[in-house]
Chains A and B, each alone.
Chain A
């Protein structure tokens, strides 16, 4: 049994062991001092951290070992402990009690949390106990957490900023929608452009918005403006690559400038209006620059990225809208043309149908009467003559139709030879005399027999005269007069047919030779016929290199038709020689004696095929013309401005830009820059619609390939002599039938 002393010894041994364990294993600093603040315990943890060994400092004064405790006024806590008070020292307010590195790698001092308490025994303070906790890691952890929390707060902030941006984007999207909706509602390109610039200015609140569109050369032309009066800038041309718009177009990306604006006619105006900064974006379709939109500010600022993005969106939509408006406009023109052509065809068919039936009535009627055998001999004779006359009339109608068809398809060919006109006029007179006699119309003639030969197709010249005479007789009342003359007038043979008939209203004079158009189809048809005669006349005359025109002093004042054929300069026997010479290269029967017939004429030929070009050059130069060639539409346009040709001959099928496009551009030029130059289309496509399309594009004459040089010469001559009236003859819309009767 253990004694009390043994217990006490045992207790003391246990306490010693516990103390040693705390000393060796404690994960905190432990300083125990006596009432004089002399160190009594300095544990292992402190030895490791401070490199001060207990054996060296035990018994020493704490404040002497660590004098900084006094300078930092921390000694008061130890004194308070000696008075019985406990204190805590937070790392935030004190950082540490004893300065040691946090770790061997760390230069930062260890953060310490400290408790300084009295050491009491039986109510008496016998010393102090100080416990030091290393809280460096905790402090770092807290710092990281605080940073994370701060980041989260920032994230929240940017999240809310993003939400605001999204809201602003929504607003912009709706603005964009409004602009494009309004622009979309417009059908004309100009209205579309103006709606776009107005919309952009309203949304971005800039001083100006200008929309420029690129032309074929790449120059930018101001097409719409908002913010300054339109008159000041509309139509201003900014040459390719110059000015601010040129910069944007070249860069194909948004650009902003401040201060000095790049020099351009447009920027001069903008600067006058106080614009000091510009931001612009290109309008692109498949990387092709359609134009540029730029906004101007009176302040020295650039558009924000948001605004630029918005402008780009508008630009993308605008490009599509512009394309749409353009195709709509060209489609509208094409549709209008097609509708008109259709209408004319319908009218024409109605007329054809009527005209073909009229003689059939007489033929069938009398034929039935004859079959019935109930008519007498005299009546039968009359019947047969009526049938014959009507059959002939119908045959004539059919011939006319076939001619017109050939004209349209370009297949009407002349069988040219040197001919004297007088006998042909006489023959035509003989042909119409019965009809004239029937109406008691007097045929007066003044025919010079030896006016000289013309290069012509005798049958066709007779047809021309016959047509004119028939027309005159048809529209001249009974007992009237028809006067015919054949005269030499300088180098021309002039055939004149004058009547005392219904006359032609002055406003219809320009149209009397046009085919496929009845100026007033509602007029009661008192005169039979298809009304194609005069159109055929003009075409035949022009094929001969001649001219025809009509004169009238007005209604009931009679009418005069005058046909001029160029006289052959050589004698008939020389013609034979020329004919033989022509066989070398030219297939035509046309005499080629008039080597200088195109003298002084500047002719531009556009063809991408070298061989065709060479042939035409040879032929035309042989005739004395100055020939300039171009192998593409763009070269051709350039040549028009530099050479100023009298006549342009263009192939239709060419790479890049075809002849139609070339002609449309040519016709869009002002008259003094070649916009009205007479022109010939050459094409391998000889269908009626090709012909129509060429005429619609602005060509005056359509010559099918392979080109017969003689035919081309005739065409050129007729163009030279023809008094061109672009309003009347320049566009395809005006092609069509204008029956002469409607005007008389």
Chain B
């Protein structure tokens, strides 16, 4: 499946709305100006996700995972490489982490940040799709990309798509890069694309989006 340019643009626009909310929420929480932006959105088969992510980090990644359910169900993930994860917690908490390891408190911070970001994105999609989306409690895991992908695709015969969104946090003149990944099954994805097309029509090409 391929997205048209308009669809792609619309998707990016929606993501940016979610990112703006996330940035605002994080700014409010931490007292620092936090910006998120996304230069690119890409669509992959979930089974081939490793192709796009394997070049991201060779080692362990920290990933915050939330399951969403309802009429559109799937997995939402925020991936950060280990150093990026440590750095992000330092930036958000104003505490230097000389040990360079993620202790329990740091993991909680990452979980909350991922929670905020994923909630914002799924919230925006829920509004766009006019469906109620439920969210599970977020969890943080440390794994290699390979193990992560294997875990995502465990026991699933169905074809799933992964929307991979490059994500850049900008805080205090520093940047931390990561990926936002939404994994949807075919039905959910079809529905998403259809709703996006409708949303484009409704808004006559990217006008006021009021979530």
Contact = CB atoms under 8 A, between A and B. Distances in A.
A88 B112 contact: yes
B132 A84 contact: yes
Contact of B93 (A92, A120, A150, A153): A92
A84 B134 contact: yes
Contacts of A85: 119, 122-123, 134-135
A90 interface: yes
B87 to A, nearest CB: 15
B108 A87 contact: no
A87 B29 CA distance: 14
A579 B97 CA distance: 113
Contacts of A149: 98-99
Contacts of B134: 84-85, 118, 120
A138 interface: yes
A86 interface: yes
Contacts of B103: 142, 145-146
Interface in A78-98: 80, 83-93
B112 A90 contact: yes
Contacts of B167: none
Nearest to A131: B137
Nearest to B139: A88
Among A73, A83, A92, A139, chain B packs the most CB atoms within 10 A around the CB of A92
A108 to B, nearest CB: 15
Contacts of B70: 84, 123
A135 interface: yes
Contacts of B5: none
B30 interface: yes
Contacts of A91: 105, 108
B112 A84 contact: no
Given A84-B132, A85-B119, A149-B99, A90 B138 contact: no
Contacts of B106: 92
Contacts of B95: 92
Given A86-B66, A87-B115, A146-B98, A93 B136 contact: no
B99 A88 contact: no
A155 to B, nearest CB: 12
Nearest to A93: B29
B93 A115 contact: no
A120 B98 CA distance: 43
A113 B28 CA distance: 19
A409 interface: no
Contacts of B122: 85
A496 interface: no
B62 to A, nearest CB: 14
B92 interface: yes
Contacts of A123: 70
Contacts of A93: 29-30, 92-93, 109, 112
Interface in B78-128: 89, 92-93, 95, 97-99, 103-106, 108-109, 111-112, 115, 119, 122-123
Given A86-B66, A150-B98, A92 B105 contact: yes
Interface in A667-706: none
Given A86-B136, A138-B104, A80 B112 contact: no
Contacts of A113: 108
A92 B137 CA distance: 18
Nearest to B108: A90
B31 to A, nearest CB: 10
A-side binding surface: helix, strand, loop or mixed? Answer: mixed
A118 to B, nearest CB: 7
Contacts of B66: 86
Among A87, A93, A150, chain B packs the most CB atoms within 10 A around the CB of A93
A117 interface: yes
Nearest to B137: A86
Contacts of B105: 90-92, 135, 138-139, 142
B133 interface: yes
A84 B135 contact: yes
B135 A90 contact: no
A145 B108 contact: no
Contacts of B109: 90, 92-93
Contacts of A84: 70, 132-135
A91 B111 CA distance: 11
Contacts of B123: 85
A64 B202 CA distance: 41
A88 B111 contact: yes
Contacts of A90: 105, 108-109, 111-112
A91 B181 CA distance: 26
B119 A80 contact: yes
A93 B28 CA distance: 11
B112 A89 contact: yes
Contacts of A150: 98
Interface in A554-588: none
Interface string A137-170: 0110010011001100100000000000000000
Contacts of B98: 146, 149-150, 153
Contacts of A88: 108, 111-112, 115, 137-138
A115 B134 CA distance: 15
A135 B30 CA distance: 20
Nearest to A116: B137
Contacts of A115: 137
Nearest to B110: A90
B94 to A, nearest CB: 10
A89 B134 CA distance: 18
Given A86-B136, A88-B137, A93-B109, A146 B99 contact: yes
A92 B104 CA distance: 10
A385 B99 CA distance: 121
A149 B135 CA distance: 37
B112 A117 contact: no
A115 B112 CA distance: 10
Interface string B128-151: 000011111110000000000000
Contacts of B28: 73
A145 B101 CA distance: 11
A90 B103 CA distance: 13
A135 B104 contact: yes
B108 A92 contact: yes
Nearest to B112: A90
A309 B109 CA distance: 52
A559 to B, nearest CB: 103
B4 to A, nearest CB: 31
A89 B116 CA distance: 10
A668 B74 CA distance: 109
Nearest to B97: A146
Interface in A126-142: 135, 138-139, 142
A90 B109 CA distance: 5
A390 B87 CA distance: 120
Interface string B1-39: 000000000000000000000000000111000000000
Contacts of A146: 97-99, 103
A190 to B, nearest CB: 59
Contacts of B30: 93
A86 B133 CA distance: 11
A562 to B, nearest CB: 104
A367 to B, nearest CB: 115
Nearest to A113: B108
A153 to B, nearest CB: 5
B144 to A, nearest CB: 24
Nearest to B25: A76
A343 B106 CA distance: 96
B74 to A, nearest CB: 15
Among A80, A86, A150, chain B packs the most CB atoms within 10 A around the CB of A86
Given A93-B109, A93-B112, A149-B98, 11 more contacts: A84-B132, A87-B115, A88-B137, A90-B112, A91-B108, A92-B89, A92-B105, A92-B106, A92-B108, A93-B30, A115-B137
9 contacts: A84-B134, A88-B108, A88-B115, A92-B105, A92-B108, A113-B108, A145-B103, A149-B98, A149-B99
Q: Nearest 6 A-B pairs (CB), nearest first?
A: A90-B108, A149-B99, A84-B134, A86-B137, A90-B112, A85-B135
